């Protein structure tokens, strides 16, 4: 009888811990656009700064992450021909939406 009660308590604790972890899921989503033309920038790279964790945006300039927790408080957006853009996010929120306006890179001087 005592073994059954202990097993039941252990099972209840495991289920409540799993529910607590599942409840900590966070989402960040948004869109990436050219600052001047306001056209979407397709397939830009989005990474959490200093982690290497990231992905490509979609064909419409959109992106979305669903995470168990925030790996970093800064997102880094990169795309060929544009300046790298850093965006700080509010890691106290569970659902973050951002619009990123990327600046075109200045042409390099020839040597």
Surface-to-core class of residue 42, CB atoms within 10 Å of its CB (0-12 exposed, 13-18 middle, 19+ buried): middle
The pLDDT > 70 percentage for the chain reads 77
- List pLDDT tens digits, range 19-63: 444 458 999 999 999 999 999 999 999 999 989 899 999 999 999
CA–CA distance, 25 with 2 (Å, rounded to integer)? 36
Q: What is the pTM of this model?
A: 0.74
Q: pLDDT-derived band of residue 18, with 50, 70 and 90 as boundaries?
A: very low
């Amino acid at each position: 009888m005592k073994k059954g009660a202990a097993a039941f308590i252990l099972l209840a604790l495991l289920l409540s811990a799993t529910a607590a972890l599942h409840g900590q899921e966070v989402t960040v989503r948004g869109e990436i656009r050219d600052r001047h033309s306001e056209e979407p920038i397709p397939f830009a790279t989005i990474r959490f700064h200093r982690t290497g964790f990231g992905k490509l945006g979609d064909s419409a300039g959109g992106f979305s992450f669903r995470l168990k927790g925030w790996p970093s408080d800064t997102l880094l957006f990169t795309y060929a021909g544009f300046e790298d853009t850093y965006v700080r996010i509010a890691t106290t929120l569970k659902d973050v939406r951002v619009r990123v306006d990327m600046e075109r890179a200045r042409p390099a001087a020839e040597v």
